[in-house]
């Protein structure tokens, strides 16, 4: 199904053994203005990163016909653990700055409900959408703060999410090659999903995004650009990035 499975398995094992770190010596000053600006927004994203992955694990097992030793099973277990690590990193930052965690959010609840629909392919399309939006959001969050710890945390999350999207895109492309007749329809559906989700996220997080220079159309444009970059390239070009390759900070007007 996917020729690069051994490469991806080696990558996620390496990440689990040697995860990207946020240095403890960084300046960790968050002003009162910055805290008021980002508190509700970052708490919502922290909630979204904290899924237990039960539905995804079940979909992977069904796809692999319950073969517990299939590489997919281990890859997705490591993938989910990495997402949960993101939630812990965000949670630790929030705790250190007295930003309370939340239990419910409209956008998170919508994504979680959609994850119950369909099989592995449907869940991967949702994951790609969420992570593409997350990449653009975390880059915007980095722009609106001078807190060095938060800036490096954003870069760390973006670096991981870029790899996740590349992996998910390869898997989706491999799944789609078995049904070439519906490729255009699926692509149109993904674009609609990305558009609706991007605008919903902009509305929910507009204080942070507007402070970073994003109006709704610019935010949507950058999310679409990120989508095109990863979902349109030939699969041979979508390889795991080195864990030593840092994600560069971008202004919201960059690509």
Average pLDDT, integer, range 221-241: 68
Whether 215 and 252 have beta carbons less than 8 Å apart is answered as no
Domain boundaries, the chain: 5-13+30-237
pTM: 0.85
* Cα-based distances in Å from 215 to 41, 93, 202: 16, 27, 8
The yes or no reply on domain 5-13+30-237 and CATH 1.10.3330.10 is no
Q: Where are the beta strands (DSSP E) in 70-173?
A: none
Is residue 201 packed enough to be buried (19+ CB in 10 Å), middle (13-18) or exposed (0-12)? buried
Give SS3 for 65: coil
pLDDT for 237 equals 41
What percent of the chain lies above the pLDDT cut of 70? Answer: 80
Average pLDDT, integer, range 194-223: 95
The pLDDT tens digits of the residues spanning 18-55 come to: 998 899 899 999 999 999 999 999 999 999 888 888 88
Tell me which DSSP letter residue 235 carries.
G
Average pLDDT, integer, range 114-120: 72
């Amino acid at each position: 199904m996917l020729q690069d499975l051994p490469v991806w398995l080696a990558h996620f094992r390496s990440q689990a053994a040697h995860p990207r770190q946020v240095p403890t010596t960084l300046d960790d000053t968050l002003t009162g203005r910055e805290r008021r600006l980002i508190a509700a927004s970052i708490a919502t994203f922290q909630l979204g990163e904290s899924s237990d992955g039960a539905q995804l694990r079940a979909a992977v097992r069904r796809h692999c016909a319950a073969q517990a030793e299939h590489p997919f099973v281990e890859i997705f277990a490591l993938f989910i653990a990495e997402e949960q690590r993101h939630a812990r990193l965000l949670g630790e930052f929030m705790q250190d700055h007295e930003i309370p965690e939340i239990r419910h959010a409209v956008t998170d609840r919508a994504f979680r409900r959609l994850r119950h629909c369909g099989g592995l392919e449907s869940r991967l399309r949702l994951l790609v959408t969420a992570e593409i939006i997350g990449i653009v959001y975390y880059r915007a969050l980095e722009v609106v703060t001078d807190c060095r710890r938060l800036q490096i945390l954003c870069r760390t999350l973006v670096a991981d999410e870029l790899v996740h999207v590349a992996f998910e895109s390869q898997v989706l492309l491999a799944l789609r090659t078995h049904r070439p007749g519906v490729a255009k329809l699926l692509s149109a559906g993904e674009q609609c999903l990305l558009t609706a989700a991007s605008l919903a996220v902009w509305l929910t997080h507009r204080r942070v995004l507007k402070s970073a220079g994003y109006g709704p159309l610019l935010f949507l444009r950058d999310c679409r650009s990120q989508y095109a970059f990863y979902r349109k390239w030939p699969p041979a070009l979508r390889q795991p990035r080195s864990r030593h390759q840092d994600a560069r900070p971008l202004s919201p007007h960059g690509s």
